[in-house]
Amino acid sequence: MKMRLGKKLKQNRRMPVVAVVKTHRRVQMNKFQRDWRRRKLRIKNE
């Protein structure tokens, strides 16, 4: 469970500025980003 939470924590970061500049702002959003109030993680407590 801790490994899954760690992965989700790493995924929840913003897009690197280098990637935004390199793609001329075509790619701006991180599709894995979530807000802790809006979307909950469905992780079973094992």
Q: Write down the pLDDT at residue 45.
A: 75
What are the Cα distances from residue 8, in Å, to 11, 20, 25, 39?
A: 5, 21, 25, 12
Q: How many residues does the chain have?
A: 46
- Return the C-alpha torsion angle 36, 9, 30, 45, nearest 10: -60
Cα–Cα–Cα angle for 21, 14, 44, rounded to 5 degrees: 150
pTM: 0.70
Q: Write down the pLDDT at residue 12.
A: 96
Q: Domain ranges in the chain? A: 1-46
Contact between 8 and 1 (Cβ < 8 Å) = no
Domain 1-46, CATH: 1.10.1620
pLDDT string in tens for the chain (46-residue length):
899 999 999 999 999 999 999 999 998 999 999 999 999 998 887 6
Q: Write down the pLDDT at residue 46.
A: 61
